[in-house]
A and B are shown apart, each in its own frame.
Chain A
Amino acid sequence: MFKYDVVVVGAGGAGMMAALYASKDPSLKVAVLSKIFPTRSHTGAAQGGINAAMGYRDNSDSAEKHFRDTVKGSDFLADQDAVEFFTTHMPELISELDYMGVPFSRDKNGKVAQRPFGGASSPRTCYSADKTGHVILHALYEQCLKNNVRFHNDWYLLSLAVDNGHFEGLVAMDIRTAKVHAIQAKAVVIATGGYGRVYWSRTTNAINMTGDGTAACFDIGIPLKDPEFVQFHPTGLASTGVLLSEACRGEGGYLINKDGERFMARYAPDKMELGPRDLVSRSIETEIKEGRGFGDGMGSYVLMDLRHLGEEKIMERLPQVRELAMDFEGVDLVKEPVPIRPSCHYMMGGIHIVDHKTCATPIEGIHAAGECCAVSIHGANRLGGNSVADVVLFGKYAGQGAQQSAKKRSFTSTAKLELEKIKWTEKFDLIRKKKTGINMFEIRDKMAETMWYNVGIFRTEDEMKQAYYTIEDLLEQFKDAFIGDSSESYNMAFINYVEISNLLKLAKAVTLGAINRKESRGSHSRGDYPTRDDENFLKHTLIYNEGEYYRLEYSPVTITKYQPEERKY
């Protein structure tokens, strides 16, 4: 049996930062598990940047303003003590990243450059050209190499072992050998990223963003906080969901339906295509719903036309966008309009954190950081540039928190851990040898379609209830899922099987949270309850997994400075 003081699960921005901090204490044995090679993690996909009130570009900016913007952006559902902590510590973190070697773009004075971003009252988004997440991820990996951090690459977290509230360790599969291992640990940091893949083909997320760590915590009784809040981006490429930057609309792109109309005239006659993200997303989906889109089913889309800008302007202002459309949709923007459709971009909800300074969950020894959890600083809606910031900052504090837990706790018994290992070993054998059953990819696609149409951009009671029954039915069908691979080693089909099972569990929780939140707030927009209802819903959703039954609770939002007011931009 493997034995570590601290295990970090996930090697994205949050995981590597946690590992670096946990291993600052040389007396502790620390290891990182990642289901993919560290630099493949989705943190690398972040282009735009990372928010911190450095005040380099606008010296009137301050942590206080960043605090206020974030709370307002969250539609007042963020916990204000956590947000203040976050915005106060971000500037020093940028300097720390600079010192680690992150190649930030620079201003005339040689300071880290900053750009304006949606929802920010000052230009405070630090960046490195259009590859901010990528360079941060690589710099963190370089620091891990330097500090000899121990990685188990291609290791997949299956479950956590907790006996009577005592955390014993975790069970993971070494994907290459398909051997199931028990790992005894005093503390763990879950940093497994988001779960945008509940919408499968309609997301900007990488294919492995399946919420494994979130589901593992959910399974051992840690509640899921605010899962109903899902951020959608209006311009994902139609066939893959790959993100096309906001700049396309900014530079004057038209959105066109099947009848050749600039349909935004119907929804935002003044701002047209420049309306806010959620409004544009809803408008596109309305067009499709009412039969004015192209294609059908999950393959429906509208067109974004940039041709009137002319080749010169496109080449000058939007070269990256043109390249993306060319590479991933086979369309040259200069000559043709590009098919687009809104896509799920980010999950505000996740593992319930009870102490933002240590990123502790309700179970002692278990910590979490990054998109997999909800601290909560994003509340009902995340601001652009606040996630990579969240990830590295709370990754650091989760690492420190886990270090403290490991010092405080001793190794417990391993009775439960060993049972878990046997359970998974047997399950692997059973599933891989199964000869017939329902195709798991079909179940996955049905889940995505249901979630997209019924718990997507538009939400109403009836449709969501329909979705809830469908997901329950899919969970039932999943018991007979067939993976089609009996390999004893590197069985990716089995990994996909566990991933889909996690997605189904989380999809059900998203739906349940959404049905019960009878208001519209931030990204959660309901046709039947179109306004925010602070009296009844200024509170966090907490969903507990009790076997197949999910229990719903609510907990208060921490408000320190800013009383809720109408969110207007």
Chain B
Amino acid sequence: MRTIHYKIKRFDGKREWYQDYQLQYEKGKTILWALTAIREQLDPTLVFTSACRHAICGSCAIKVNGKSFLACKTSLDEVLETFKSDYLVFEPLSNFEVIKDLAIAWEPKMEKMKQVKPWLIPSNKGSVERGFIQSEDDFHEISSPTDCILCGVCTSECNQLAVNDGTYLDPFILNRAYRFSVDSRDCAPEEHIRPVYENELWKCIHCMQCISSCPKGIPLTDEIAYLRQESIKMGEVNNQGAKHAFAFYDDVRNKGRLNETMLPIKTDGLLKTATTKIPFALRMIKKGKINPFHMPKAIEGIKGVKEIYKYAEEVKHS
């Protein structure tokens, strides 16, 4: 009989530890199935959150072997196949405050989200009594961004948030800002966009992790590119946001911390380039030589890494 070994990160408010569990292998199960089986058969003290079990409520995201997944939607077989191992490590999402075991707190994130006014600021073309007229095309603009289920996978995977002091807005917050700024029924896009560039919009490092992990396939990085374009249009070349372009490299230098997935840009050459050439790079951006609005397509695995390399090279040679 095949046994799958689970190592789960526990936290009781004070103490942190890893605990081992074993379950018999069963075909066609999900990560959420494993969590539930562990809790109901082996250890009722294990805390995790889930509700709908079909990828719509956003409760169940966790990290498995360092990568963030929606537990209910992720097949155990695929995970075992991907990691080529029967040993799995479950941890709470990164970049969140942990309450207990795998349960995280969303309230601080919602406070942060409020900055972008995540609600419709209705234009005077509509009314409570009659609603709005909105074209099919205009609906399509907001269709994909309203798929967001607030699962937190993008935040957990975000390499900027990993080094940032907390000012940088989580990808799902950028998505909300985008969603309202492009809604034809909204009369004040700048109200949603201004807080975005005032909060380090330019620090997105194009690592593409958010978009390649989003369980709903929301084109987050295209949205970021759009928000950047809009903020430049709003005359924000000289504002704080634009000055922070490439400041990510500063963060890395100051904190000396970098996620493994970002290893490719941890080459000496690039770091040197970044530190010596930031002012230059900024001038280049203004002249349109390197394009911070261009985001590589989300390509998973090694191809994605190559893209990042390419981008780093562009910066270096500009």
Interface centre among A98, A128, A329 (most CB of B within 10 A): A98
Q: Does A111 contact B (CB under 8 A)?
A: yes
Residue numbers in A under 8 Å from B136 (CB-CB): 105-108, 110
Residue numbers in B under 8 Å from A112 (CB-CB): 131
Q: Does A40 contact B (CB under 8 A)?
A: yes
B114 near A131: Cβ-Cβ < 8 Å = no
Residue numbers in A under 8 Å from B130 (CB-CB): 95
Q: Does B266 contact A (CB under 8 A)?
A: no
Within 8 A of B (CB), among A197-256: 206-208, 239-240, 242-243
B106 near A153: Cβ-Cβ < 8 Å = yes
Chain B min CB distance to A461 (Å)? 34
Chain B min CB distance to A371 (Å)? 15
B119 near A39: Cβ-Cβ < 8 Å = no
Chain B min CB distance to A367 (Å)? 23
Residue numbers in A under 8 Å from B55 (CB-CB): 327
Q: Which of B12, B58, B129, B131 lies in contact with A39, CB distance below 8 A?
A: B58
B119 near A98: Cβ-Cβ < 8 Å = no
Interface centre among B128, B139, B180 (most CB of A within 10 A): B139
Given contacts A37-B106, A103-B143, A128-B143, 19 further A-B contacts (CB under 8 A): A45-B52, A45-B56, A95-B127, A95-B129, A95-B131, A99-B122, A101-B119, A105-B136, A106-B136, A129-B143, A142-B120, A146-B117, A206-B52, A242-B54, A330-B75, A330-B77, A331-B28, A489-B12, A490-B99
Q: Does A485 contact B (CB under 8 A)?
A: yes
Which one, B39-47, B251-259, B307-315, is touching chain A?
Answer: B39-47
A104 near B133: Cβ-Cβ < 8 Å = no
User: Which B residues form the contact surface with A (CB < 8 A)?
Assistant: 12-13, 27-30, 40, 43-45, 47, 49-59, 72-73, 75, 77, 99-100, 103, 106-107, 110, 113-114, 117-120, 122, 126-136, 138-139, 142-143, 146-150, 180, 183, 185-186
What are some 5 contacts across the A-B interface (CB < 8 A)?
A37-B106, A44-B149, A95-B130, A95-B131, A110-B136
Q: Which of B44, B53, B142 lies in contact with A206, CB distance below 8 A?
A: B53
Residue of chain B at shortest CB distance from A487: B45
Number of A-B contacts (CB under 8 A): 163
Q: Which of B47, B56, B118, B185 lies in contact with A490, CB distance below 8 A?
A: B47
Residue numbers in A under 8 Å from B149 (CB-CB): 39, 44, 134
Give the docked Cα–Cα distance between A37 and B45 (Å): 20
Given A96-B128, A108-B136, A138-B146, residue A40 in contact with residue B54 (CB < 8 A): no
Give the docked Cα–Cα distance between A140 and B217 (Å): 23
A98 near B47: Cβ-Cβ < 8 Å = no
Residue numbers in B under 8 Å from A28 (CB-CB): none
Q: Does A562 contact B (CB under 8 A)?
A: no
Q: Does A328 contact B (CB under 8 A)?
A: yes
Give the docked Cα–Cα distance between A112 and B130 (Å): 11
Q: Does A145 contact B (CB under 8 A)?
A: yes
Chain B min CB distance to A385 (Å)? 17
Residue numbers in A under 8 Å from B134 (CB-CB): 106, 110
Residue of chain B at shortest CB distance from A327: B73
Interface centre among B51, B100, B103, B148 (most CB of A within 10 A): B51
Residue numbers in B under 8 Å from A94 (CB-CB): 131
Residue numbers in A under 8 Å from B12 (CB-CB): 487, 489
Residue of chain B at shortest CB distance from A97: B131
Chain A to chain B: the 5 pairs with minimum beta-carbon distance, closest first: A101-B120, A330-B28, A98-B131, A95-B131, A110-B133
Chain A 12-47, CB within 8 Å of chain B: the 1/0 string?
000000000000000000000000110111101100
Given A100-B120, A489-B100, residue A484 in contact with residue B56 (CB < 8 A): no
Q: Does A135 contact B (CB under 8 A)?
A: yes
Given A207-B51, A492-B47, residue A99 in contact with residue B131 (CB < 8 A): yes
A328 near B54: Cβ-Cβ < 8 Å = yes
Residue numbers in A under 8 Å from B47 (CB-CB): 490, 492
Residue numbers in B under 8 Å from A551 (CB-CB): none
Residue numbers in B under 8 Å from A496 (CB-CB): 44
Residue of chain B at shortest CB distance from A111: B133
Residue numbers in A under 8 Å from B51 (CB-CB): 36, 40-42, 206-208
Given A95-B131, A106-B135, A207-B53, residue A329 in contact with residue B119 (CB < 8 A): no
B128 near A99: Cβ-Cβ < 8 Å = yes
